[in-house]
Amino acid sequence: MLILRDHLEENAKFLSPTPGIQPPVPEPETNTSGDPASTSNPAPTPNPASTSRTPTQNSKKSSGGSTDVSDAEVKLLDKAWKPVAGWRDVEMVDSLCKALHTYLGERSVTLTGIDEMLLQVCFQPYIDGNRTKPGWLYNNSEADARAMVNEVIQAVSFVMNILGFPIYVLNNYKVPVEGFHSLVDFALMAKKVKMLTEIKAPQVLEKALTKLEGQSMRISTQSGGPSDELVLNKACLYMSSHKVNWLALTSHHKWIFFRLHPSSDKEPEPYISYSSVEMMENNTRPFRALLAMMLATVGEIKVVDSNVDKTVPLPVIEEEEHHSSESSQEDQDKIGSYRGSGPVTKKEYDLRPKPTGPRPTDSPELLVGWTRRKVPDTEWLLFYALDGTKQCSSLGAAPIRLWLQCDVGQGSTGVVYEAKLNIDDDDDNTRTSHSYAVKTVVKRRSGNIKGAVARLFHEFEAYRKIEQARKHGKFGHIAPRCYGMYESRGLYALILDYEGESLDDDDWASLTEKEKSAIYKLISDLHYLGIGHGDLEPRNVVRNSEGSYKIIDFDKWWFHDCPGIKRTKKGSWYRRDIGGQCDELKYLHEMLIGRPVKKEDIPQ
Q: Which residues are documented as binding site?
A: 439
Give the count of alpha carbons within 13 A of 243, CB side only. Answer: 21
Dist CA 327 CA 316 (whole Å): 28
H, E, C per residue of 168-189: EEEEEEECCCCCCCCEEEEEEE
Report strand pairing: 85-88 vs 271-274.
Answer: parallel
Contact partners, residue 531, CB within 8 Å, separation at least 6: 462, 465, 466, 554, 557, 558, 559, 560
Q: 109: how many CB neighbours lie within 10 A of its CB?
A: 15
Contact partners, residue 467, CB within 8 Å, separation at least 6: 391, 392, 393, 481, 482
Dist CA 521 CA 414 (whole Å): 28
Within 18-70, where are the H helices?
none
Contact partners, residue 341, CB within 8 Å, separation at least 6: 387
Dist CA 437 CA 422 (whole Å): 14
Taking CA atoms, 203 is separated from 80, 314, 395, in Å, by 35, 25, 45
Residue 417, helix vs strand vs coil: strand
Dist CA 178 CA 167 (whole Å): 24
Dist CA 303 CA 292 (whole Å): 9
Secondary structure E strands in 333-399: 381-385
Dist CA 277 CA 249 (whole Å): 10
Contact 332, 111 (CB under 8 A): no
Dist CA 15 CA 189 (whole Å): 19
Dist CA 320 CA 311 (whole Å): 27
Contact 476, 469 (CB under 8 A): yes
Dist CA 526 CA 554 (whole Å): 11
Q: 121: how many CB neighbours lie within 10 A of its CB?
A: 11
Dist CA 40 CA 550 (whole Å): 36
Contact partners, residue 92, CB within 8 Å, separation at least 6: 257, 259, 273, 274, 275, 276, 289, 306, 307
Give the count of alpha carbons within 13 A of 32, CB side only. Answer: 3
Give the distance between the most distant pair of CA atoms in the chain. Answer: 95
**Residues in the annotated binding site for ATP:** 439
Q: What is the rounded end-to-end Cα distance, in angstroms, of the chain?
A: 84
